[in-house]
Amino acid sequence: MKQRVSSLRSGLISGLFWGLVVINLLVLAYFNVPQSEMPVQTEHHEPIHPDRIRLLSPSEFDALPVKSAAHEPVAPIEPEEATITSCYEWGNFTVATLAKARGLLDSKVPAIASNGIQPRYVEKPHMTARYWVYIPPSPSLAEAQRIMAELASRGVGDSFVMQEGEWQYAISLGLFKEERLAGRLLQQLKQQGVENARQGVKLQPSGRKVLFMTDVSPVAAEQLYAATAGFKDSELKQVLCQ
């Protein structure tokens, strides 16, 4: 019995040994098979149609759109620096001298414009400052007339009611070239009991003209000063643009 068990054990060990040998041989054979003999999986492609293939002529090839490389740097666009312009006033002119002044500008402006922005000019009435004594506007003509009657009762006769513009129904008491004369009248009215009288500056047309110029570049301004320097009894000055 013992001999039979020993024989069976020897057979199992021998079978296990040869089984391991076979497995090792199979593994060794698998890793040593050439890659060219192994099946290669290929992607599926659409079939090629030879009848649709044709060669392009040189002119057709040149006409193909060219795509710019995405990595090429694009130069930034720098904004143009704006030219700073100003406004000037040249005057004051009578009717006769105004025509000469316009003729001078008409002859000089084209040359000036070649070095800067072309100035534009318009005629405007020349305004002079006058010192005004007045009573502020009333809400109605009837109220202004009532004040006029009160002034007459106090011995103030040289006055009238303004009828137009922002000073409508104001009462004008006097207009002077010199400030001291306006101040003297105001003091006299106070002594007569006229407490609501005021003194201010009023711009009046002088009967003369000025040329108002806009869009004058710094270069054009220098040339305008040079061109107008010899014009008698006139003044070129920079003013606020309106």
Would 68 be classed as within a structural domain?
Answer: no
Would 100 be classed as within a structural domain?
Answer: yes
pLDDT at 114: 57
Would 69 be classed as within a structural domain?
Answer: no
| HSE-up (13 A, CA, CB side) for residue 202 | 18
Tokens of 181: 């004369």
pLDDT top residue among 46 and 145: 145
121-142: per-residue pLDDT in tens?
676 776 777 899 999 999 999 9
Of 3-7, 177-181, 220-224, where does the model show the most confidence? 177-181
137-156: per-residue pLDDT in tens?
999 999 999 999 999 988 88
Buried b (16+ CB within 10 A) or exposed e, 141-163: eeebeebbeebeeeebeebebbe
Would 125 be classed as within a structural domain?
Answer: yes
* Percent of the chain topping pLDDT 70: 58
Number of domains in the chain: 1
C-alpha 130/C-alpha 187 separation (Å) is 18
pLDDT at 94: 82
Is pLDDT above 90 for 169?
A: yes
Would 226 be classed as within a structural domain?
Answer: yes
User: Domain of 124?
Assistant: 86-239
Mean pLDDT of 27-44: 56
Tokens of 204: 């009046």
Tokens of 139: 């809400």
Mean pLDDT of 41-46: 54
Would 47 be classed as within a structural domain?
Answer: no
Would 3 be classed as within a structural domain?
Answer: no
pLDDT at 85: 80
pLDDT top residue among 8 and 126: 126
pLDDT at 5: 47
Q: Report the mean per-residue pLDDT for the chain.
A: 76
